[in-house]
Structure 1
Amino acid sequence: MSETTQGSSPASALSSAESKKSGVDLAPFFIAPSIMLWRLELAIYSGFLCAASVALFPFFLSAYYWPIVWLVFCGFIAFELRKAWRATHAARIELSIQKNVWRLKTADRECVVEPFDEILLWPAVIILPLGEIDSRKKHRIVILQDSVKKDDWRRLRVWLKTAFKNHTN
């Protein structure tokens, strides 16, 4: 069973009354890339490679181009795994909410964001759709349990279920 929390739309600007209203703050916490997600990608790509090897093995000696197709496919798998590995070792993201202002800090910059769609709360995953207020650029932050500390995971879930839900009503 999933729970969703409705955020504000990007077109709606915060009124002065809302911006002055003090809500329940959420202390900053860091979101790291998930090792569990990388392992899942590794298993899926390994399955693709095994399936392609089994499917193409009988044709290797019959035509010269099948080994070339298999090598190109192996190169594609290696490229995707390298991309996934680099994403796993990317810089952490810091998210904080103070006085109803959401701040997202990456290695490059810090920006003020607001939720633009429903926030997805499942037991093992949280998806935060955040939009930058200045540039309207959208970010969908997927947070798995191994992406944050256990205390931060619990604190974020409780805050999204109680304080954020009460703020939007």
Structure 2
Amino acid sequence: MNASTNPMVVIELHARAYREAKDVLVERAQALHDEMQAAQRRAMRGLRNAVAAVNEKRDELQHALEEQPHLFVKPRTAVFHGVKVGFKLGAGKIEWEDDDQVVKLIRKHLPQQFDLLVKTTEKPIKDGLKNLTAVELKKLGVTVEGTEDVPVISDTTASVDKLVKALLKGAEDEAQS
């Protein structure tokens, strides 16, 4: 290209080169995706059967344990074939229906522990602030960045964009490692 070439033609040529490179990437990513899908379909029946077998054997083991709890007094557990079996105290689960009521009762009965038992959070909501004008944001001490013109390069075809993005991210992460 010489100096008299129209700049828009130069950009168009770069866009074509980008499209050609992207098409190769999309084609290869789609081929990989198709192979992975086919492999997954081939393996799925065996995986489902294996999961069902594991669940069945786990249920049988649990039933056997529940039938013989006296075998696990001291020690409370044993290891057979790399599988730890026995009993332990459950971790428990705490629940309540009304946050406000629990906070009120903590304040009443355990005021010295209030800060340890109650989370108080106040922070601006970005989505709400986005609806304010620049003048209002300035009054609040909020600055807006990234509003200047930036170059746009976006593929208008969306055939396998998610897969391509995931593969590109993986390639970028590998390159940075």
Q: What TM-score, normalized to structure 2?
A: 0.21
Which has the larger Rg? 2
Higher strand share: 1
Higher helix share: 2
Larger RCO (alpha carbons 8 Å, 6+ apart): 1
Q: What TM-score, normalized to structure 1?
A: 0.22
